[in-house]
Structure 1
Amino acid sequence: MAHIDYFFSVFSPWTYLAGDRLEQIAAKHGASLTYKPLDLLTLFDRTGGVRPAQRHQSRLDYRMQELERWSKHLGMEMVLRPVGYPPNGAPASYAVIAAQAAGGGDVGALVRGILHAVWVEERNIAEDDVLREKLEAAGFDPGLVTSGLFTGAMAYEKNLEEAVERGVFGSPFYIVRESDQRFWGQDRLDFLDAHLAGL
Structure 2
Amino acid sequence: MRDDLLDLLWNAFCQTLYMLVWSSFFSIILGLLLGITLVVTEKGNVLEARIVHRIVSVIINGVRSLPFIILIVLLLPVARWVVGTSLGPTAAIVSLSIGAAPFLGRIIESSLKEVALGKIEAAKAFGASPFDIIFRVLIPEALPALVRSLTIAIIAVTELTAVAGAIGAGGLGSLAIRFGYMRFREDIMFSTVAIIILMVQIIQWTGDYIAKSINRRRYKLD
Same structural fold, with TM-score higher than 0.5 when normalized by the shorter chain: no
Which structure dedicates a bigger proportion of its chain to helix? 2
Q: TM-score, normalised by structure 2?
A: 0.24
Which structure dedicates a bigger proportion of its chain to strand? 1
